[in-house]
């Protein structure tokens, strides 16, 4: 315990020193050139590609087993794509943006100049430890900032690897990583950053926002929530099952935008359940020694998920465990089988808390109208998924519900589309990043007016006289 406390104290001291060093570097070079920003992005992309196997191995070791394909597809491929998109558009994003000038101020001109904020803090989560660090890092660097990162202590191997890779690629004057537990995180979020991005649980996000408020630090909060799936009765259940299983089972459900529960017409429930029971074994014929099936990150989180399951069953839910090879998980005790829950109710914890695991409750409704009301009666989710080939009905559902993002006839895809912002709303988060929105989030938009050599603004200056009265009468009546 004493050794742990000493390590935490040392990490807190390192966090303060790293912040001061980054701040000093920013003051020396407050607006890095386009070429230097492009070079930083190129280094981030290169280290991602050249260390793909090492990153996948580190994440898997932290999880007790993580599908290497899940890591390379969901974490690394998407980062390489994002960086490529930012590189392609960066020069245009950096240019001053002309704005119309009111006729009364002509011939003056108006524009917006985007400047780096300074030092940006990133508090990254454990579920996608590389992607949810490197993604905001890419847009923060593109905007010309220095970056201090606090990765999750629940994925220590990945955190240590990122610290080494980023130090080698960028040096401590551009990017620094501070490792440690909750005490370090508390101190980290109390630093006077120019912007702070936090990805994690809603309850922790509240603490982060309070800490940042002491310094009036603006925050972007990427939180979570219970992302619903609505399946219209006309939609083919086999297609819906295929996309829902993909979205739910990647990373064993440990995804902030994973489908959390399904709303389906009661006449189609059994058909959808049967389709899911066929789909999961087709994708995962075994679980224990299947390299494609991911474990729960640690025993505490595993027990939390088991607790949700046991509470639901005790309160009347019907459990359908899908364990195709009937395995006991001796090789990988951290794995949990996919489990459907029927006949769920609001009294069950599984319908109150974000699941973040391979449990999938199915709620029956009598109409899409009822499904929309069900969603709107609950906290606004990070994502919503709607399955229906009718464009009018889909548009109506999107208009009548509020969520951070939405996908029609699929799951998760909005996160991977770099031209779209990613963020929550209400308890699922505030602010957005990815692509252009990420660049803007980490930039100060300075309003600039350039007065012309010959202008008429002096006509409205004291001493006021009849001429001004006539002008005011003309405009005000």
Residue 417 CA to its chain's centroid (Å)? 13
- Catalytic option among 75, 222, 279, 354: 222
Ordered alpha helix ranges (H), 95-145 = 131-142
User: Pick the catalytic residue: 57, 183, 187, 256?
Assistant: 256
Rounded Cα gap, residues 15 and 211, in angstroms: 16
Would you call 88 exposed, middle or buried from its count of C-beta atoms within 10 A (0-12, 13-18, 19+)?
A: exposed
Nearest residue to 38 via CA among 95, 86, 80, 78 = 86
Contacts with 360 (C-beta within 8 Å, 6 or more apart), sequence order: 244, 248, 253, 259, 261, 262, 276, 338, 339, 340, 341
* Whether 138 contacts 79, CB under 8 Å: yes
Q: Residue for token digits 């603006």? A: 218
Query: For residue 198, with 0-12 CB atoms within 10 Å meaning exposed, 13-18 middle and 19 or more buried, which class applies?
Result: buried
**Is 222 among the catalytic positions?**
yes
Q: Could you give the C-alpha distances from 150 to 20, 134, 185, 317, 465, in angstroms and in order?
A: 15, 12, 7, 40, 62
Q: Left (φ > 0), alpha (ψ -120 to 50) or beta: where does 262 sit?
A: beta
**In 11-27, which positions are buried (b, 16+ CB within 10 angstroms) versus exposed (e)?**
bbebbeebbebbbebbe
Is 256 tagged catalytic? yes
What residue spans of 378-424 are helical by DSSP H? 391-400, 413-416
Relative orientation angle of helices 131-142 and 78-94, to the nearest 10 degrees = 10
Number of Cβ within a 10 Å radius of residue 110 = 15
Would you name the residues annotated as active-site residues? 222, 256
């Amino acid at each position: 315990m004493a050794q742990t406390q000493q390590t935490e104290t040392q990490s807190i001291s390192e966090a303060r020193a790293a912040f001061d060093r980054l701040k000093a570097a920013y003051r020396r070079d407050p607006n890095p050139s386009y070429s230097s920003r492009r070079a930083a992005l190129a280094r981030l992309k290169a280290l991602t590609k050249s260390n793909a196997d090492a990153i996948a191995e580190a994440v898997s070791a932290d999880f007790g087993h993580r599908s290497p394909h899940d890591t390379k597809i969901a974490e690394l491929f998407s980062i390489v794509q994002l960086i490529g998109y930012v590189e392609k558009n960066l020069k245009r994003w950096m240019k001053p943006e002309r704005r119309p000038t009111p006729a009364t101020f002509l011939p003056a001109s108006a524009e917006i100049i985007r400047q780096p904020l300074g030092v940006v803090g990133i508090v990254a989560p454990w579920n996608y430890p590389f992607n949810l660090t490197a993604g905001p890092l890419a847009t923060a660097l593109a905007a010309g900032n220095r970056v201090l990162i606090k990765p999750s202590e629940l994925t220590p191997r990945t955190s240590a690897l990122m610290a080494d890779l980023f130090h080698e690629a960028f040096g401590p004057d551009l990017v620094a990583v501070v490792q440690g537990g909750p005490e370090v995180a508390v101190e980290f979020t109390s630093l006077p950053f120019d912007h702070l991005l936090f990805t994690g649980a809603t309850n922790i996000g509240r603490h982060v926002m309070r800490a940042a408020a002491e310094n009036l630090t603006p925050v972007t909060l990427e939180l979570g929530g219970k992302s619903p799936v609505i399946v219209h009765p006309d939609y083919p259940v086999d297609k819906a099952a295929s996309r829902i299983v993909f979205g739910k089972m990647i990373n064993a459900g440990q995804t902030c935008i994973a489908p959390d529960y399904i709303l389906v017409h009661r006449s189609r429930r059994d058909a959808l359940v049967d389709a899911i029971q066929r789909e999961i074994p087709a994708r995962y014929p075994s679980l224990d020694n299947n390299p494609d099936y991911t474990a729960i990150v640690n025993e505490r989180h595993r027990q939390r998920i088991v607790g949700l399951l046991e509470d639901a069953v005790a309160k009347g839910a019907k459990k359908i465990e899908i364990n195709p090879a009937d395995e006991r998980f001796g090789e990988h005790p951290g794995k949990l089988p996919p489990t459907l829950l029927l006949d769920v109710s609001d009294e069950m914890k599984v319908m109150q808390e974000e699941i973040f695991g391979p449990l999938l409750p199915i709620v029956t409704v009598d109409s899409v109208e009822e499904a929309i009301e069900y969603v709107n009666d609950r906290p606004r989710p990070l994502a919503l998924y709607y399955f229906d080939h009718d464009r009018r009905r889909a548009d109506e559902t999107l208009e009548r519900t509020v969520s951070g993002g939405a996908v029609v006839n699929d799951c998760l895809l909005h996160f991977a589309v770099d031209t779209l912002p990613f963020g929550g709303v209400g308890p699922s988060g505030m602010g957005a990043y990815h692509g252009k929105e990420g660049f803007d989030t980490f930039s100060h938009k300075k309003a600039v007016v350039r007065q012309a050599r010959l202008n008429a603004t002096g006509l409205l200056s004291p001493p006021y006289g009849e001429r001004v009265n006539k002008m005011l009468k003309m405009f005000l009546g």
